[in-house]
Amino acid sequence: MVIKMAIPKFDPRELTVVANTPGFGGAPPTPVYDFPVTQREGYAALYAGRPIWQITGLEQTLFCPKVNPDNVARAFVFDGSGFNPLDGGGKDMFGIEWEYVAQAGGSMVRPGKPFMEDAGEWREKLVWPDVDAWDWDGAARYNADYLRDDKFNICWFLNGWYERLISFMDFEGAIMAMIDEDQQDAVKELFDKLSELYIEILDRYVTYFPKLDGFCIHDDWGSQKETFFSPALAGEMIVPYMRRVTDFLHLKGKACELHSCGQLLKQAPNFIAAGWDSWSGQLMNDTHKIYELYGDKIIVGVTPDMYDPAGKTEDEQRAAAREYVEKFCRPDKPSMFNTYGASVLTPAFREELYLRSRIAYAGD
pLDDT digits (tens, 9 = 90+) for 136-154: 999 999 999 999 999 999 9
pLDDT score, position 289: 98
Domain termination residue (choose one: 302, 319, 336): 302
pLDDT tens by residue, 83-121: 999 999 999 999 999 999 988 889 999 888 999 999 999
CB 103 within 8 A of CB 178: no
Residue 155 φ/ψ, nearest 5 degrees: -95, 125
In whole angstroms, what is the distance from residue 315 CA to residue 101 CA? 43
Q: Identify which of 112, 100, 280, 116 has the alpha carbon closest to the alpha carbon of residue 186.
A: 116
Question: In this structure, are 145 and 207 located in the same domain?
Answer: yes
In whole angstroms, what is the distance from residue 299 CA to residue 279 CA? 7
CB 161 within 8 A of CB 74: no
**The whole model's pTM is what?**
0.95
Residues near 158 by Cβ (< 8 Å), separated by ≥ 6?
64, 70, 71, 74, 76, 218
Question: In this structure, are 106 and 159 located in the same domain?
Answer: yes
In whole angstroms, what is the distance from residue 276 CA to residue 274 CA? 6
Picking from 19-23, 264-268, 331-335, which range would have the lowest pLDDT averaged per residue? 19-23
Question: In this structure, are 205 and 167 located in the same domain?
Answer: yes
Question: In this structure, are 30 and 136 located in the same domain?
Answer: no
**pLDDT above 90 for 231:** yes
**pLDDT above 80 for 1:** no
Question: In this structure, are 227 and 82 located in the same domain?
Answer: yes
Domain termination residue (choose one: 251, 278, 302): 302
Picking from 11-25, 167-181, 242-256, 343-357, which range would have the lowest pLDDT averaged per residue? 11-25
For residue 221, what are the CA distances in angstroms to 158, 164, 282, 290? 14, 12, 12, 16
In whole angstroms, what is the distance from residue 243 CA to residue 13 CA? 43
Total structural domains within the chain: 2
The 8-class DSSP code of residue 146 comes to: T
Question: In this structure, are 45 and 173 located in the same domain?
Answer: no
Question: In this structure, are 36 and 54 located in the same domain?
Answer: yes
CATH of the domain at 243: 3.20.20.210
pLDDT score, position 103: 85
Q: Where in the sequence is the domain holding 263, given as residue range(s)? A: 67-302
Question: In this structure, are 99 and 187 located in the same domain?
Answer: yes
Question: In this structure, are 312 and 335 located in the same domain?
Answer: yes
Q: Identify which of 119, 118, 100, 99 has the alpha carbon closest to the alpha carbon of residue 110.
A: 99
pLDDT score, position 29: 81
What pLDDT band is residue 183 in, cutting at 50, 70 and 90?
very high
pLDDT score, position 180: 98
Three-class SS of residue 241? helix
In whole angstroms, what is the distance from residue 122 CA to residue 276 CA? 28
| Mean per-residue pLDDT, 252-278 | 98
| Mean per-residue pLDDT, 28-57 | 95
Domain termination residue (choose one: 302, 323, 356): 302
Residue 313: Cβ-neighbour burial (10 angstroms; 0-12, 13-18, 19+): exposed
Question: In this structure, are 111 and 259 located in the same domain?
Answer: yes
Q: Identify which of 284, 294, 277, 154 has the alpha carbon closest to the alpha carbon of residue 221.
A: 284
Question: In this structure, are 31 and 54 located in the same domain?
Answer: yes
Question: In this structure, are 14 and 80 located in the same domain?
Answer: no
What pLDDT band is residue 363 in, cutting at 50, 70 and 90?
confident
pLDDT score, position 24: 60
